[in-house]
């Protein structure tokens, strides 16, 4: 293996085993290694790549690793860097999924999960708060976010909401730039999109349907990795009935507790639905679009970044994604906050996250231990 390619794979593997804390932390670690220590690319090149990842759907930190691999070792570097970053996390998640299915329904597993769920909800709420402070740049953007939140709760399709919000915002800001009253208070035309209400009847399992479901998510998911929860709930809880809300919360917890990309939550979900074949199909389905997008977009990056419509499009997608996250948080709260102890756990976790920036994986472990202690006392 050429030295450039070997160094890319070593770095990606290192991050795959040690990068905790979510996409922002992953990207910060990647920058430290690729820009500061190894000098593979300049600060400006790294920022340009970061802007590029925001233009395409998929897991941002994974795509950043792919782009750095491309810069260092060409197309094969992109592929191997992405695989080396994903596989450690997927394998670790697979082990947790096996343990969960074997022991998660025992009394011991139940008290662990009861302590984890409120903490996971707090992690999602913190992400909404932090992202919202940056994303809500105007009253119009805030209005779009609130409308997406409401329509999601009414059962509207999350993909239509994301792209409808983006098109609405781009049209309003480009066509009516001087009419402030309309810019501020206009109802985005996404309301003209027909609602696609979620089905409640369970659909028989199909491997092809599972793969297509994750391919769809990987193709259309913008924003934070936490938006993944909205897509998973809509697709596998509401539409297909293959997953319960409790299982979804547990999958998110495992995604927080393991290193590497948050999207390996899909590995857990696939295993819960259909064992090892389901885990493989889910992992391939959710990550394959990222490889394709990164390979296509990287060579044309300068032209994409120069387009005037890219920033408004991203701004609207970001606030729509936050609206989806808020909708999911509200629905998940019904399963996570079931009594006074879980309310206390969730509240304490939220304070520790927002005020003291405690690592989410440590908080999840603490929630499990606290639940165990309360169970033992009672």
Residue 194 has pLDDT above 50, yes or no: no
272-279 CB contacts, 8 Å cutoff, 24+ apart: 272/97, 272/100, 272/101, 272/243, 272/247, 273/205, 273/210, 273/236, 273/242, 273/243, 274/205, 274/207, 274/210, 276/94, 277/207, 278/207, 278/210, 279/90, 279/94, 279/97
Question: Cα–Cα distance between 94 and 122 in angstroms, integer?
Answer: 24
Does the pTM exceed 0.85?
no
What is the model's pLDDT at position 176? 58
Residue 312 has pLDDT above 90, yes or no: no
Q: Give 83-100 pLDDT, tens digit per residue.
A: 999 999 999 999 999 988
| pLDDT band with cut points at 50, 70 and 90 for residue 3 | confident
What is the model's pLDDT at position 36? 85
Paired tokens of 235: 């697709």
* Domain annotation covers residue 10: no
Proportion of the chain above pLDDT 90, given as a percent: 30
Flag the least confident range among 22-31, 56-65, 246-255. 22-31
* Domain annotation covers residue 23: no
**At a CB cut-off of 8 Å and minimum separation 6, what does 235 contact?**
213, 216, 217
Whether residue 58 contacts residue 214, with contact meaning beta carbons closer than 8 Å, is answered with no
What is the model's pLDDT at position 76? 94
Question: Cα–Cα distance between 210 and 215 in angstroms, integer?
Answer: 9
Whether residue 271 contacts residue 97, with contact meaning beta carbons closer than 8 Å, is answered with yes
Q: Mean pLDDT of all residues in the chain?
A: 82
Q: Give 149-160 pLDDT, tens digit per residue.
A: 999 888 888 778
| pLDDT band with cut points at 50, 70 and 90 for residue 107 | low
Closest CA to 263 of 111, 119, 87, 130: 87
* Domain annotation covers residue 55: no
| pLDDT band with cut points at 50, 70 and 90 for residue 24 | low
* Domain annotation covers residue 86: no
* Domain annotation covers residue 337: yes
Proportion of the chain above pLDDT 70, given as a percent: 85
Question: Cα–Cα distance between 354 and 46 in angstroms, integer?
Answer: 28
Over residues 109-127, the mean pLDDT reads 77
Whether residue 222 contacts residue 317, with contact meaning beta carbons closer than 8 Å, is answered with yes
Residue with the bigger pLDDT between 109 and 113: it is 113
* Domain annotation covers residue 13: no
Whether residue 44 contacts residue 55, with contact meaning beta carbons closer than 8 Å, is answered with no
Residue written as token pair 């590497």: 260
Residue 109 has pLDDT above 70, yes or no: no
Closest CA to 228 of 136, 158, 149: 158
**Sign of the alpha-carbon dihedral angle for 127, 252, 334, 158:** positive
Question: Cα–Cα distance between 315 and 370 in angstroms, integer?
Answer: 39
What is the model's pLDDT at position 152? 87
Residue 1 has pLDDT above 80, yes or no: no
Residue 129 has pLDDT above 70, yes or no: yes
Question: Cα–Cα distance between 350 and 370 in angstroms, integer?
Answer: 15
What is the model's pLDDT at position 106? 54
Residue 210 has pLDDT above 70, yes or no: yes
Q: Give 170-179 pLDDT, tens digit per residue.
A: 888 876 554 4
Residue 268 has pLDDT above 90, yes or no: yes
| pLDDT band with cut points at 50, 70 and 90 for residue 188 | very low
Q: Residue 273: give the domain boundaries.
A: 110-377
* Domain annotation covers residue 366: yes
What is the model's pLDDT at position 236? 94
Residue 190 has pLDDT above 60, yes or no: no
Domain tally, the chain: 1
Residue 376 has pLDDT above 80, yes or no: no
What is the model's pLDDT at position 195? 38
């Amino acid at each position: 293996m050429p030295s450039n390619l070997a160094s890319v794979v070593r770095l990606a593997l290192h991050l795959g085993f040690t990068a905790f804390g979510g996409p922002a932390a992953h990207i910060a670690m990647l920058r430290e290694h690729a820009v500061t220590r190894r000098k593979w690319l300049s600060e400006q090149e790294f920022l340009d790549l970061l802007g590029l990842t925001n233009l395409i759907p998929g897991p941002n930190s994974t795509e950043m690793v792919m782009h750095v691999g491309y810069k260092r070792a060409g197309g094969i570097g992109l592929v191997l860097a992405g695989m080396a970053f994903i596989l450690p996390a997927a394998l670790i998640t697979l082990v947790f999924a096996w343990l969960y299915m074997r022991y998660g329904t025992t009394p011991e597993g139940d008290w662990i999960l009861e302590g984890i769920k409120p903490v996971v909800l707090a992690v999602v709420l913190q992400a909404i708060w932090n992202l919202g402070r940056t994303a809500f740049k105007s009253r119009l953007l805030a209005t779009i976010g609130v409308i997406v939140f409401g329509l999601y709760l009414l059962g509207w399709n999350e993909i239509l909401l994301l792209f409808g919000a983006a098109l609405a915002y781009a049209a309003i800001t480009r066509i009516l730039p001087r009419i402030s009253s309309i810019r501020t208070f206009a109802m985005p035309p996404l309301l003209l999109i027909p609602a696609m209400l979620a089905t409640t009847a369970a659909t028989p399992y199909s491997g092809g349907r599972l793969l297509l479901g994750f391919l769809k998510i990987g193709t259309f998911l913008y924003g934070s990795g936490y938006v993944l929860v909205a897509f998973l709930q809509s697709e596998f809880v509401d539409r297909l009935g293959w997953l319960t809300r409790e299982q979804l919360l547990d999958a998110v917890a495992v995604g927080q507790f393991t290193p590497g990309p948050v999207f390996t939550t899909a590995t857990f979900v696939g295993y819960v639905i259909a064992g090892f074949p389901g885990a493989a199909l889910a992992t391939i389905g959710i990550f394959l679009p990222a490889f394709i997008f990164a390979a296509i977009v990287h060579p044309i990056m300068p032209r994409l970044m120069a387009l005037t419509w890219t920033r408004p499009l991203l701004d609207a997608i970001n606030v729509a994604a936050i609206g989806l996250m808020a909708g999911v948080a509200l629905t998940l709260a019904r399963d996570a906050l079931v009594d006074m102890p879980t309310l206390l756990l969730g509240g304490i976790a939220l304070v520790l996250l927002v005020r003291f920036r405690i690592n989410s994986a440590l908080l999840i472990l603490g929630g499990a231990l606290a639940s165990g202690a309360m169970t033992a006392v009672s």
